[in-house]
Structure 1
């Protein structure tokens, strides 16, 4: 199924190759609209996935701090999400229209 991540009326990512982990769709990095993303200094640690890094998303002058995350060096049991990005903080993820 083709999935989209949308925030503030803009498609942030779209793919039919998402990986679902713990209920979150992880989009392949090449399907993300990079012009809307800026690196964040935020990092969190998951015991089984590893250390996550975050992006702030900006659309039409509005920013959504740490709305996207990814695992640059996932642990072996989470290797399937390497080079993938997931979303939260009000980003709507669902079937593409």
Structure 2
């Protein structure tokens, strides 16, 4: 699977976990040079508290376009150490 935004591959892996229709990529498959930390968080009743990452590619920013669960609840432990994308990021095989 690949995650692509602004014409650039952000993440690529054969090892994704699908939860609620979202592909969660291993964090190690996500390019560090295009992600930036974000202060945004949200809470899912069964997964826990999500943290976000913003993308920056060729001078263009996509705030909070990726999320992950630093300490997911037991029901979502399969996404530990994984990142998912939205906000215009194309995830394709």
1:10 maps to what in 2? 8
Does 2:79 match 1:81?
yes
TM norm structure 2:
0.99
Cα distance in 2 for residues equivalent to 1:30 and 1:40: 18
Q: CA offsets, 1:32-73, max 9 Å, x none?
A: 001100000100000000000000000000000000000000
Cα distance in 2 for residues equivalent to 1:35 and 1:73: 24
**RMSD between aligned alpha carbons?**
0.3
Question: How far did 1:93 drift?
Answer: 0.2
1:25 maps to what in 2? 23
> Gapped runs of 5+ residues in structure 2?
none
Q: How many residues align?
A: 93
Question: How far did 1:82 drift?
Answer: 0.4
Structure 1 moving runs of 4+ over 4 Å:
none
1:62 maps to what in 2? 60
> Gapped runs of 5+ residues in structure 1?
none
